Amino acid sequence: MGRLEGKVVIVTGSASGIGAATAVRLGAEGATVVGFDATPHDDDIVLDVRDEAAVGAAVAGVAGDHGRIDALVNAAGVAGGGPVHLVDADEWDRIVDINLKGTFLTNKHVVAQMVDQEPDGLGQRGSIVNIASIEGLEGTEGGSAYNASKGGVVILTKNIALDYGRKGIRANCVCPGFIDTPMMMAVFDMGGMDDVRRSFVETHALGRIGRPEEIAAAALFLVSDDASFVSGTSLVVDGGYTAGHQHGIVEMMGLG
């Protein structure tokens, strides 16, 4: 029997990368998964997470069809940024609106449904998992708009955990390191990025970037009853990217 048998879960960003891997993994664990994405994909509901009317109608539709919503994994997002004096204000708005306001809107409508449903045997009404980033916890050069949006997601999630904990709703972030998805590859494949790409890979203590399935596994944990006492946290899944700094000393000492 799967770990999510009988659960109903919405996954945003389900057409690609981390969201797609999460939808597959949660489905394999027995959940009924409904995907939301701006890009058409399988039976996913096509919507823009910035469109409150569309988000509200889609969430109400899932609740109507399935009777409840046990979890939301919010993975829709876009990359972008730059040193601030080079960032166009419209581009700032686009990134922050999709990554942060989109998170607010999906969380808002799913939480509104969760507070009105009966708790399960563990007293839980639902679990919210927002895919933030290690770039929402610490800076990366050139990150500006993206990093600000992800920092906003981290603190928004903590507030939701505080506001709804006594209603039996848990809210957590997953903060991935750099993951092999179309979003990341579009950045790495830009001209002149070979050295930057190598540097990013080497900065992970494990010496590689991650796979979408490794983030899906963390989202599964936070959705599942195994995480019944986990709320308000930011689960870093980054292959040691934020563990600290490496300067070649252990290599010098013979650890090749």
Ligand X SMILES: NC(=O)c1ccc[n+]([C@@H]2O[C@H](COP(=O)([O-])OP(=O)(O)OC[C@H]3O[C@@H](n4cnc5c(N)ncnc54)[C@H](O)[C@@H]3O)[C@@H](O)[C@H]2O)c1
Residue among 70 and 214 whose Cβ is closer to ligand X:
214
Closest approach of Cβ 50 to ligand X, in Å? 5
C-alpha span between 160 and 210 (Å, rounded):
28
Lookup: tokens for 35: 């995907």
Neighbours of 193 (CB within 10 A): 13
Query: What would you report as the CA-atom Rg of the chain, rounded to the nearest whole angstrom?
Result: 18
Q: Which is it for strands 234-237 and 32-37: parallel, antiparallel or unpaired?
A: unpaired
Residue among 50 and 197 whose Cβ is closer to ligand X:
50
Contact 144, 99 (CB under 8 A): no
Q: Residue 172: which of 185, 186, 182, 162 has the closest Cα?
A: 162
Residues that bind ligand X (CB under 6 A): 13, 15-19, 37-39, 48-50, 75-78, 98, 102, 131, 133, 176, 178-179, 181-184
Closest approach of Cβ 161 to ligand X, in Å? 19
Catalytic annotation, residues:
146
Residue among 10 and 38 whose Cβ is closer to ligand X:
38
